[in-house]
Structure 1
Amino acid sequence: MANPQAVSQAGRAAGQPQPAHHVHAVLCRKCKSQQVVANKRGYSFANMFKTLAIMILLGILPIVLTGFAFVSSTSDRLYALLQVFSSLGMLSLFLSLPLGIIVGFAGRNDIVNGCMNCGFKWRPAKKK
């Protein structure tokens, strides 16, 4: 007589369904679709323009304050202090474009998941 264990294994292999295994599929967080692709993040124009705007605003503000102090004829000490800030503002304006370009490259090799069903994008969780 045949081994009952061999018969049960042969019976499963012959067309009976296998026991369900837990599959770790990536699902979209928004629509729960399995149509998810992983891509490199690439260059971030949003980060570049944010940095550029902040640097330009920080550069213009001290220059405007220095002009206001010159017109209102404030004390010489305050005017000298504002000239130092104006110099820093000019430096900020001068470095805004190169620094903005460099900041755009930050995180360009990160992986971003994207749902092909709804278009939602997210960063996958880091493995511990």
Structure 2
Amino acid sequence: MAVTGIGGFFFRSKDPKALAAWYLEHLGVGAPEGVFVWPQQAGPTVFSPFKADTDYFADDKQWMLNLRVDDLDALKASLSAAGIEVVTKPEWDTMPEVGQFARIHDPEGNPIELWQPAAT
């Protein structure tokens, strides 16, 4: 018997309905209200604890959501057009065999890493 994948991602929110709507509108993540399962494409998932003093994401956050995307440039343009700050750094893309990265924050300040895996 083995784990076959991540079955859910649960976190606290000041306004769960509004935050769920934001994720659905801007990232296509989640499902409409009343629907609890979000069908996803199969693909790689990284599960990696970080050192407590990492500077990879903010000190006051215990987690960072990483979402796999298929067209990072188009998503960055869409998010920017919606007024969402998109951060990129050359040092995040130093391993082309891994892919490209960008970062955003949801309306409650939670970090979200967007990852376009390298073409295989």
TM range (shorter): under 0.3
Larger CA Rg, structure 1 vs 2: 1
If asked which structure has higher relative contact order (CA below 8 Å, sep 6+), I would say 1
| Greater strand proportion | 2
| Greater helix proportion | 1
With normalisation by structure 2, the TM-score equals 0.18
